[in-house]
Structure 1
């Protein structure tokens, strides 16, 4: 599956998860809230972090959220990106390292080596230090309910 198709699938999965909503009465606020039986995403965290309108959530909204999670300003920007492999790795391993942490790590590596590391080298480094060795001893809250390979 190419990377664009992968992100399209993530948007469809997010939209599917939103469709699992059921109204639940909250006695404290004396109103209905939604509960989700999601399979792929922590919907409550996404609703909170992205200020989602739970009444009007479309596939287009899901695409926009996936683009944001993948560190793009919009779905159109994601589609126009020249290389998405690093974005996919950062998306898939968001529970191990966030974008800012990765940018600091690469900046330090570039400073130590006194050279700019191109995208291919960054991908190789990411696979080694994050995927294989998991040198970052942290757990980061993730929008994904489980890790996808």
Structure 2
């Protein structure tokens, strides 16, 4: 599956999770309008972080949220990204429980500054695979994830 199709699937999964909503019995005990039975995403965290209107959430809204989680400003930017930018975005998306966007960009900025070199996206992909996936250097950092597969 190519990366664009992967992110399309994530948007569809988010939209499916959102459609699991049922009316709350006791609306005074929750800040949300509905209860959810999600399979893929921490829906309440997504709603809170992205200020989502629970009464109006379309597949297009889901695409926008997925693009934001993948560190793009909008879905159209994700679609126009280079192959290496998409690969890095997918890695960061899949490993969002290990390092967040801010932590990663501080790490890259520090590496560039120390080595007095600009690290292009292809090199960042290789670095990510080594330090985040293989060595897990951020293991002492607690990161919230939008993905339920990371919630143990």
TM over 0.5: yes
Given the alignment of the two structures, is residue 122 of structure 1 paired with residue 124 of structure 2, yes or no? Answer: yes
Structure 1: 5+ residue runs without aligned partners?
none
Query: Match of 1:110?
Result: 112
Matched, 1:90 2:114: no
Q: Deviations over 1:84-122 (max 9, x none)?
A: 011111111111111111111011111222211121111
Distance 2:56 2:103 in 1: 34
Judging changes above 3 Å, is the alpha-carbon distance between structure 1 residues 60 and 133 closer, same or farther for their aligned structure 2 residues? same
Give 5+ residue unaligned stretches, structure 2: none
Aligned length: 147
- TM-score normalised according to structure 1 size: 0.92
d(CA) in 1 for partners of 2:103 and 2:31? 40
1:1-149 correspondence runs (5 A): 1-26=1-26, 28=28, 33-82=33-82, 83-136=85-138, 137-147=140-150
Tell me which protein shows more helix as a share of its residues: 2
Going from structure 1 to structure 2, the CA distance change for 1:19 and 1:107 (only over 3 Å counts) comes to same
CA shift, 1:28, in A, is: 3.1
- Please provide the CA RMSD for this pair: 1.8
Task: Encode CA deviations 1:33-67: one digit per residue, 9 max, x unaligned.
Answer: 31111010000011111111111111001001101
Residues in 1 aligned to 2:28 and 2:111: alpha-carbon distance in whole angstroms:
51
TM-score, normalised to structure 2, is: 0.90
Report the CA distance shift for 1:121/1:25 in structure 2 as closer, same or farther (over 3 A).
same
- Residue by residue over 1:119-139, the C-alpha shift from the partner in whole angstroms, topping out at 9 and shown as x without a partner, is 111111100111111111212
